[in-house]
Amino acid sequence: MKRRDFVTRILVTGGALSLGIGCRRKIEPDFKKESEISGAVDQKTGRTITEPERQIPVLSETDVLVIGGGPAGTAAAIAASRTGAETYLVERYNHLGGLWTGGLVLPLLSTHAIDKQKNRKQVIFGIGGEMARRLKDLGMSIHEINPVVDPEAAKYVLEEMIREAGVKMLYHTWGSNVIMDGNIIKGVSVESKSGRMAILAKIVIDCTGDGDIFHFAGDNYDVMNYAIGLVHRLGNVDRINTSKTGYVKLNVGQPTPIPSVNWYNMWGKENQDALDVLNLSQLQMDYRREIWENVQKIRQTPGHEEVFLLDTASQLGVRMSRILDGEYRLTLEDTMTFKSFDDVIGISGAWTTILYKGKKIPVAERPFWQIPYRSLLPRKTDNLLVAGRCFCFERELVEDTRIIGTCLVTGHGAGAAAGLAVKERENLRNLNTGKLKQLLKQQGAWLG
């Protein structure tokens, strides 16, 4: 072959190839155009001081210590105490029920879901179901599915149940740190009017919602910023005079079991850091002013003169903050496919329509879902259980895990597990899940 022929062939081949590649048709992403929303700027000064070492009194040495008296904490304390363990419950406000009562988020959501036969039925039983039933017997809850309760009645019922179960109650007390020994929590130090004290315990249940205890204990977690709101209630909504001249229909919230009272939800500002006290304080002040001004506007509208602001919630409506990195991360897929776990501790339902694999699944067609014991277990700390909105799940599931119904279920499961572990003198990780399931069933829980 002549050299010129050879070169010609190379040129022709190269030309054909480059033409070919040049004519290729595919749209590729342009990453330059994509910009990410930048996070909030950290404005902390970074200055610190060292606390002097000091002796603190030991308040008590107990079997089970529950930090946080929200729906999960209350259920956990009752379950543990009923199992026979000496139980302390630490609550920072003056009431039980957390956001359900003090936060005025009154609906007990996700009580129902469909079973494998496609029948929509109640799925939340156990201690949570007992609370709902007792409120209904008092005439203090409306709606069969996802009942809305009266907050004062709920505070009363929860406290009565705690009293009956023999739980040792500590109000106005804040779990402020953990006392660690390797991977074991020996106890929790609490702050109150009596100063700092320690409560030593065999097992600690973190029901703080924000995951304060697993944070102090050094476990890994994910922080999810979300919208924070502040709920309020309006009184005299039954005295709105619709026939008055100049009357216009206004949004006055949703009905509660008390006919003259409505609760008024607030979505609030997006992407808020619930772990920054300066932020929480600012939000609290802004929200209270906004609510006051909005109620004045309502009162100035013809027909609404007698409506008044009954109360703003005593707790800011923090929806999400920390999410535990536990032994098992519950996924959206698990909840949509009737996934069955050997170590199931409870079943929750669904309250919203969702998109699953690109398709719309209406709330009335959503299956019930099992919660495994492992997703309440932190990876590092050995004698800690986590219940409430901060147990281990993937973010896609947040709408179903952060609500009252699920919190009651995880609380019950954690409390029973702690009680059983104390009774059996067994490590939480080696707990016999068969016995746990049996115990939960004895306590009225439904496990599918």
Partner 1 sequence: MKNLFRSSNLRTLSFLMAIVLALPLSWKGLTGFHTWLSPFIMLNSVIAVKSFVWLNIVAFPVLLFVFFRKRWFCLNLCPAGWCFDRISALNKDKTYTYKRLPDIGKWLAIISLASAIIGLPLFLVFDPLAIFNGFFTILSGGMNIFAIISLSGFLLLLTIHFFYPGVWCAKLCPLGGLQLVINDLTTRLKLFFNKQKPLPHGIDPGRRYFLMSGIGLIAGITIPKFLKPPAEIIIRPPATVAPPLLYSLCCRCGNCIKACPTGIIKYSTDFTGIPAWMTPEISYESGYCLETCNLCGQVCPTGAITLFNFRAKGQLFMGIAKVQLENCLLFNNIECVKCKESCKYKAIAFVAKENILNMVPMIDKDRCVGCGACEVICPTDCIHIAGVIIN
> Looking at beta carbons only, is 353 or 442 nearer to partner 1?
353
**Which residues partner with 330 through β-bridges?**
393
Least Å from the CB of residue 84 to partner 1: 39
Counting contacts by CB under 8 A, is residue 18 touching partner 1? no
Cβ neighbours of 137 (radius 10 Å) = 10
Phi and psi of 100, rounded to 5°? -65, -40
Q: Tokens in use for 51? A: 């606390």
> Looking at beta carbons only, is 32 or 47 nearer to partner 1?
32
Counting contacts by CB under 8 A, is residue 3 touching partner 1? no
Cα dihedral sign for 280, 285, 288, 294? Answer: negative
Q: Which of 346, 327, 90 is nearest to 213 (CA)?
A: 90
For 439, how many CA atoms within 13 A lie in the half-sphere containing its CB?
Answer: 26
Q: Tokens in use for 28? A: 């590729």
Counting contacts by CB under 8 A, is residue 358 touching partner 1? yes
Counting contacts by CB under 8 A, is residue 37 touching partner 1? yes
CA pair distance 344, 355, nearest whole angstrom: 25
CA pair distance 354, 367, nearest whole angstrom: 12
Counting contacts by CB under 8 A, is residue 329 touching partner 1? no
Residues 96 and 71: beta-carbon distance below 8 Å: no
CA dist 276 to 217, 279, 347, Å? Answer: 19, 5, 33
Least Å from the CB of residue 360 to partner 1: 5
Determine which residue in the list 23, 41, 49, 277 makes contact with partner 1, applying CB under 8 A: 23
Counting contacts by CB under 8 A, is residue 227 touching partner 1? yes
> Looking at beta carbons only, is 29 or 46 nearer to partner 1?
29
Determine which residue in the list 33, 44, 47, 116 makes contact with partner 1, applying CB under 8 A: 33
Determine which residue in the list 355, 364, 424, 427 makes contact with partner 1, applying CB under 8 A: 355
| DSSP strand pairing (322-324 vs 221-223) | antiparallel
String of contacts with partner 1 for each residue 53-92, x by CB under 8 A: ----------------------------------------
Q: Tokens in use for 336? A: 């949509």
> Looking at beta carbons only, is 192 or 294 nearer to partner 1?
294
Counting contacts by CB under 8 A, is residue 34 touching partner 1? yes
Counting contacts by CB under 8 A, is residue 28 touching partner 1? yes
Least Å from the CB of residue 264 to partner 1: 6
Counting contacts by CB under 8 A, is residue 26 touching partner 1? yes
CA pair distance 79, 69, nearest whole angstrom: 13
Say how many residues touch partner 1, by CB under 8 A.
Answer: 38
> Looking at beta carbons only, is 7 or 285 nearer to partner 1?
285
**Which 235-294 positions form the footprint of partner 1 (CB under 8 A)?**
251, 253-254, 264-270, 286-287, 290-291, 293-294
Phi and psi of 64, rounded to 5°? -120, 135
Determine which residue in the list 2, 3, 29, 51 makes contact with partner 1, applying CB under 8 A: 29
Least Å from the CB of residue 164 to partner 1: 32
Counting contacts by CB under 8 A, is residue 352 touching partner 1? yes
Q: Which of 213, 370, 228 is nearest to 290 (CA)?
A: 228
Counting contacts by CB under 8 A, is residue 360 touching partner 1? yes
Residues 153 and 106: beta-carbon distance below 8 Å: no
Determine which residue in the list 2, 5, 30, 425 makes contact with partner 1, applying CB under 8 A: 30
CA pair distance 409, 431, nearest whole angstrom: 19
Angle at 133 between CA 369 and CA 164, to 5 degrees: 105
Give me the residues that bind partner 1 (CB under 8 A), please: 20, 23-30, 33-34, 37, 227, 251, 253-254, 264-270, 286-287, 290-291, 293-294, 352-355, 357-360, 399
